[in-house]
Amino acid sequence: MISSLKQPASFSHGSHFITSRTNLVTPGCLPVLPSLRLPRISAVSLSKPLHIGAPPIERKRKELSTSIGCSAYEAGRSEPVADARSESARKIKIGIYFATWWSLNVVFNIYNKKVLNAYPYPWLTSTLSLAAGSLIMLVSWALRIAETPKTDLEFWKSLFPVAVAHTIGHVAATVSMSKVAVSFTHIIKSGEPAFSVLVSRFILGETFPPTVYLSLIPIIGGCGLSALTELNFNMIGFMGAMISNLAFVFRNIFSKKGMKGKSVSGMNYYACLSMLSLVILTPFAIAVEGPQMWAAGFQQALSDIGPQIVWWMAAQSVFYHLYNQVSYMSLDEISPLTFSIGNTMKRISVIVSSIIIFQTPVQPVNALGAAIAVLGTFLYSQAKK
């Protein structure tokens, strides 16, 4: 999606601002040719805003210094071994990021659904998720656990449309999960690339290779088959997931435009996004649900579930922030394409685990639709390479 914008393929890269045509000169080595292709921001990658931190460019430098220039001068005695070790270490690190991201996401989805089953106030639970993240980050900054970002009014202005889209996407997904099975919401959410391509094509005027359009057939077909055969289909749940997809596509477009040239790390970018979204969402949550409904519902949940409902709410809020934070941090380490594949795998782990934990009834044809949609998402990410 981001690459689909009619702008130079450039993006904020932590403290760097790079473009796909940047010439890199590796110290002590040969200059890197302009034909170097830095990771492109693919439509699937738009499931997260674009902010991406420093390491990938450093990694590219290292890879290039090893593969192009340095080997000629340094005769590569111990370097290949050292490089192989550092490459293995990097792979292990990315593996840990992925495992953490997926696990946190699975835990979030389980607690989120448990809360929504007992306390069906998605606007409040969405607000609490953002509030928990904001609080965690404010405390981290105050205690200097995390570096406080240097922001200005321009930063917050450019973040505003991103936060609006993030808020809509988040609330819509939570409303969806309050009405349908977690697995169904995520099956529909695996259709996000289709929204990305359609918005890029019809609103931004971008064109894609035929393989990209072809990959939409299994995505749309698979999601459609799942929706038609979903045993507990609910229109609000379905539309919530669809709106979430659309909102997240716009979030990523605004993110691309707004963050151009800005230098905020992935973790802090997400922290600021949470805070601004919290400010935007709170009045709407009060207007749509409001303290009276929340208080009455809470009494009911307390009598149905007991005091542990409070722990479930705390868990869903904290895990929401943690999985997002880790996913943004992993974006600092990997290319957008790898990220998008990781996000697809994440949906598989959420779909499968939630079906097992909540014993969601699934018809074989429904599962087939989900598998086709997920396969389509994978094919899409390959076609966007």
Whole-number Å distance between alpha carbons of 156 and 362: 44
Closer residue to ligand 3PG in complex, CB, 13/170: 170
Q: Give the Å distances, CA to CA, from 293 to 170, 179, 286, 289, 300.
A: 21, 18, 10, 6, 11
Token pair 């997920």 in the structure block, residue: 374
Residues in the chain: 385
Tokens representing 314 are: 């705390």
Binding residues vs ligand 3PG (CB under 6 A): 47, 169-170, 173-174, 189
Q: What is the DSSP string of 274-332?
A: HHHHHHHHHHHHHHHT-HHHHHHHHHHHHHHH-THHHHHHHHHHHHHHHHHHHHHHHHT
Nearest Cα to 137, choosing from 11, 278, 280, 254? 278
Bridge partners (DSSP) of residue 11 are 18
Closer residue to ligand 3PG in complex, CB, 17/358: 358
Closer residue to ligand 3PG in complex, CB, 133/169: 169
Closer residue to ligand 3PG in complex, CB, 174/263: 174
Who contacts 221 (Cβ-Cβ below 8 Å, separation ≥6)? 369, 372, 373, 376
Closer residue to ligand 3PG in complex, CB, 66/245: 245
Closer residue to ligand 3PG in complex, CB, 170/256: 170
CB of 205 to ligand 3PG, least distance (A): 26
**What is the amino acid identity at position 229?**
T
Closer residue to ligand 3PG in complex, CB, 64/374: 374
Closer residue to ligand 3PG in complex, CB, 189/256: 189
Our CA dihedral for 340, 171, 122, 238, rounded to 10 degrees, sits at: -70
Our CA dihedral for 286, 289, 295, 298, rounded to 10 degrees, sits at: -130
CB of 238 to ligand 3PG, least distance (A): 15
CB of 108 to ligand 3PG, least distance (A): 8
Closer residue to ligand 3PG in complex, CB, 57/130: 130
Bridge partners (DSSP) of residue 16 are 13
**What is the amino acid identity at position 312?**
W
CB of 124 to ligand 3PG, least distance (A): 13
Burial degree of 23 (CB within 10 A; 0-12, 13-18, 19+): exposed
Nearest Cα to 43, choosing from 234, 193, 162? 193
Coil vs helix vs strand at 345? helix
CB of 172 to ligand 3PG, least distance (A): 8
**What is the amino acid identity at position 106?**
V
